[in-house]
């Protein structure tokens, strides 16, 4: 899909959900979101530490505040605790020290693996979380069809996952999470297994969803260009035990255009983050 498919009927409602400062941003791709600092914190880690029962210390003193409508990417050496941070935020794993503050009733989570149920068609998969929450059948069907259109999968509702490409599976997975209209959306390397072109397209589509839906994003990736392209901030973590080493503001407005990837300022920022990550790996 060259451009994101947006369901026009759902557009008004989605725009109403958008944080004020984000909707006030220009659409020219210029300028920064300079009102971000005024918005409430949507996800806060304060001095979070994690020691697993076998003694592995995955995280140490992680403090990170993400304001409503921000999109923050985290990069760091392999095994530094990025996934653990998301699992702690979602409540899957309790931290062993520090505090986390987030509305867990309104949290979306997408993994590298699309985690679709193979015996359910796309529609059934997208309805799954709503089913678990007890949405009436007609409502979940309506919402699922809207989300399927939003991610560009109209016409594939009755396909089983095995008939979908990797990118389409990931779209279905996004639609499943979007159906609950999360205010905070966390992504654990969602596009890491995809080819580069599909990944870049999905980056654009996810940005489009972010701009329209106005959720707060926390995105894990191993790709520095992907982190910069997607985000309003990029956080670099140290090697294990993971700590926040440095935070970079990304000075490009939303939505972003694919040409940004060839911009000199974009490359310079990627270079700075790369140096910082190299220092993190070398300790
Ligand atoms: N249940 C567990 N018990 C013990 N150690 C664990 C457990 N889960 C994760 N770890 C360890 O904690 C550290 C952090 O793991 P985590 O998966 O969060 O890292 P990551 O930064 O997401 O890694 P990658 O970039 O390779 O995906 C790793 O050393 C991992 O082996």
> Is pLDDT of 272 > 50?
yes
The string of pLDDT tens digits covering residues 49-99 is 999 999 999 999 999 999 999 999 999 999 999 999 999 999 999 999 999
Asked if residue 193 and residue 277 are part of one domain, the reply reads: yes
Predicted pLDDT at 65: 96
Residue 145 resides in a domain: yes
Indicate which atom in ligand 1 lies nearest the CA of residue 188.
22
Asked if residue 248 and residue 219 are part of one domain, the reply reads: yes
Residue 110 resides in a domain: no
203 pLDDT tier (thresholds 50, 70, 90): very high
Residues with CB under 6 A from ligand 1: 52, 54, 56, 58, 76, 78-84, 240
Residue 1 resides in a domain: no
> Is pLDDT of 151 > 90?
no
CA distance 266 to 259: 10
CA distance 161 to 153: 12
CA distances from 60 to 37, 85, 225, 230 (A): 25, 11, 27, 26
For residue 86, how far is its CA from the centre of ligand 1 (angstroms)?
11
Residue 54 resides in a domain: yes
For residue 85, how far is its CA from the centre of ligand 1 (angstroms)?
10
Indicate which atom in ligand 1 lies nearest the CA of residue 85.
18
27 pLDDT tier (thresholds 50, 70, 90): very low
Mutation probe of ligand 1 site: the residue of 56, 86, 224 with most atoms within 8 A of C-beta: 56
Domain C-terminal end among 180, 205, 224: 180
Q: What CATH number is associated with residue 55?
A: 3.40.50.300
For residue 184, how far is its CA from the centre of ligand 1 (angstroms)?
23
> Is pLDDT of 158 > 80?
yes
The string of pLDDT tens digits covering residues 213-270 is 899 999 999 999 999 999 999 999 999 999 999 999 999 999 999 999 999 999 999 9
Mutation probe of ligand 1 site: the residue of 79, 85, 88 with most atoms within 8 A of C-beta: 79
Is the distance from CB of 45 to CB of 89 less than 8 angstroms?
yes
Domain C-terminal end among 155, 180, 205: 180
Q: What domain count does the chain have?
A: 2
Asked if residue 188 and residue 86 are part of one domain, the reply reads: yes
What DSSP character marks residue 242? B
CA distance 32 to 147: 29
Indicate which atom in ligand 1 lies nearest the CA of residue 59.
14
Residue 270 resides in a domain: yes
Is the distance from CB of 246 to CB of 216 less than 8 angstroms?
no
Asked if residue 88 and residue 75 are part of one domain, the reply reads: yes
- The protein residue with its alpha carbon nearest to ligand 1, atom 31, reads 79
User: Can you say whether residue 111 is alpha, beta or left, with left for phi > 0 and alpha for psi between -120 and 50 degrees?
Assistant: beta
Domain C-terminal end among 130, 154, 180: 180
Asked if residue 41 and residue 99 are part of one domain, the reply reads: yes
Mutation probe of ligand 1 site: the residue of 49, 57, 60, 83 with most atoms within 8 A of C-beta: 83
For residue 244, how far is its CA from the centre of ligand 1 (angstroms)?
16
- What pTM does this model have? 0.86
16 pLDDT tier (thresholds 50, 70, 90): very low
CA distance 92 to 200: 30
3-state secondary structure of 134: coil
What DSSP character marks residue 36? G
CA distance 72 to 235: 7
Indicate which atom in ligand 1 lies nearest the CA of residue 220.
22
Residue 108 resides in a domain: no
Is the distance from CB of 217 to CB of 158 less than 8 angstroms?
no
> Is pLDDT of 45 > 60?
yes
Asked if residue 83 and residue 129 are part of one domain, the reply reads: no
Is the distance from CB of 249 to CB of 214 less than 8 angstroms?
no
Asked if residue 82 and residue 215 are part of one domain, the reply reads: yes
Residue 112 resides in a domain: no
Asked if residue 187 and residue 248 are part of one domain, the reply reads: yes
For residue 48, how far is its CA from the centre of ligand 1 (angstroms)?
15
Predicted pLDDT at 34: 57
8 pLDDT tier (thresholds 50, 70, 90): very low
Residue 53 resides in a domain: yes
Predicted pLDDT at 113: 85
For residue 187, how far is its CA from the centre of ligand 1 (angstroms)?
16
Asked if residue 151 and residue 14 are part of one domain, the reply reads: no
Average pLDDT for the chain:
86
Predicted pLDDT at 74: 97
Asked if residue 275 and residue 200 are part of one domain, the reply reads: yes
Question: By residue range, what is the domain housing residue 169?
Answer: 117-180
For residue 51, how far is its CA from the centre of ligand 1 (angstroms)?
11
Asked if residue 91 and residue 208 are part of one domain, the reply reads: yes
Indicate which atom in ligand 1 lies nearest the CA of residue 93.
1
Asked if residue 66 and residue 169 are part of one domain, the reply reads: no
């Amino acid at each position: 899909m060259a451009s994101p498919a947006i369901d026009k009927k759902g557009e008004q409602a989605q725009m109403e959900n958008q944080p004020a400062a984000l909707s006030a941003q220009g659409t020219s791709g210029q300028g920064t979101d300079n009102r971000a600092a005024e918005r409430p914190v949507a996800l806060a880690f304060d001095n979070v530490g994690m020691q697993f029962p076998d003694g592995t210390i995955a995280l140490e003193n992680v403090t990170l505040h993400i304001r409503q409508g921000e999109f923050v990417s985290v990069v760091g050496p392999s095994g530094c605790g990025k996934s653990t941070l998301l699992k702690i935020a979602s409540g899957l794993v309790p931290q062993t020290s520090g505090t986390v503050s987030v509305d867990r009733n309104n949290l979306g989570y997408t993994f590298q693996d699309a985690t679709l149920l193979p015996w359910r068609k796309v529609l059934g998969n997208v309805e799954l979380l709503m089913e678990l929450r007890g949405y009436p059948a007609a409502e979940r069907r309506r919402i699922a069809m809207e989300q399927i259109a939003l991610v560009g999968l109209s016409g594939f509702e009755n396909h089983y996952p095995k008939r979908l490409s990797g990118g389409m599976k990931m779209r279905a997975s996004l639609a499943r999470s979007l159906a609950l209209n999360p205010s905070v959306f966390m992504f654990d390397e969602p596009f890491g297994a995809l080819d580069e072109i599909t990944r870049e397209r999905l980056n654009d589509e996810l940005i489009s969803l972010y701009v329209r839906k106005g959720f707060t994003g926390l995105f894990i990736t191993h790709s520095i260009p992907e982190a910069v392209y997607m985000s309003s901030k990029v956080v670099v973590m140290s090697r294990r035990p993971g700590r926040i080493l440095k935070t970079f503001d990304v000075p490009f407005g939303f939505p972003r255009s694919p040409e940004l990837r060839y911009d000199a300022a974009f490359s310079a920022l990627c270079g700075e983050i790369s140096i910082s990550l190299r220092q993190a790996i070398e300790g």
